[in-house]
Amino acid sequence: ETGVTQTPRHLVMGMTNKKSLKCEQHLGHNAMYWYKQSAKKPLELMFVYSLEERVENNSVPSRFSPECPNSSHLFLHLHTLQPEDSALYLCASSQDLISGANVLTFGAGSRLTVL
């Protein structure tokens, strides 16, 4: 257990469904991230939150909607996804963005399959 917990671990959804991925960190970190991991591709940074404010949005389609209600929780709301969105979605946290101590702690990921 790394201190970053993701649920659900596996999710299968149709293209018209609405679902959410949840991430919780118990490390007292101030920065949280969503990454997309697809086969044979580098990890793709999707969103960055620092102290609950979104600081980066890497041209992610609007069918992905992040939410950070507090520094311990991060959600990724999904709606009208496409089959190519099937991937492992990784949540990560770090102490903060400004200390230079950017060691990322990852969760185990949520494996998403879009039918």
Partner 1 sequence: GENVEQHPSTLSVQEGDSAVIKCTYSDSASNYFPWYKQELGKGPQLIIDIRSNVGEKKDQRIAVTLNKTAKHFSLHITETQPEDSAVYFCAAALMYSGGGADGLTFGKGTHLIIQP
Residues in contact with partner 1 by the rule CB under 8 A: 2, 4, 6, 40-43, 45, 48, 56, 90, 92, 97-100, 102-109
Q: Which is nearer to partner 1, 64 or 89 (CB)?
A: 89
Distance of closest approach, residue 105 Cβ to partner 1, in angstroms: 8
AA identity, residue 90: L
Distance of closest approach, residue 98 Cβ to partner 1, in angstroms: 5
Alpha-carbon distance of 18 to 41, in angstroms, equals 26
Q: Which is nearer to partner 1, 11 or 90 (CB)?
A: 90
Distance of closest approach, residue 30 Cβ to partner 1, in angstroms: 13
Distance of closest approach, residue 56 Cβ to partner 1, in angstroms: 7
Q: Which is nearer to partner 1, 102 or 113 (CB)?
A: 102
Closest to 27 (Cα-Cα) out of 91, 110, 109, 76:
91
Alpha-carbon distance of 111 to 39, in angstroms, equals 12
Alpha-carbon distance of 71 to 63, in angstroms, equals 23
Which residue shows structure tokens 């939410």?
Answer: 67
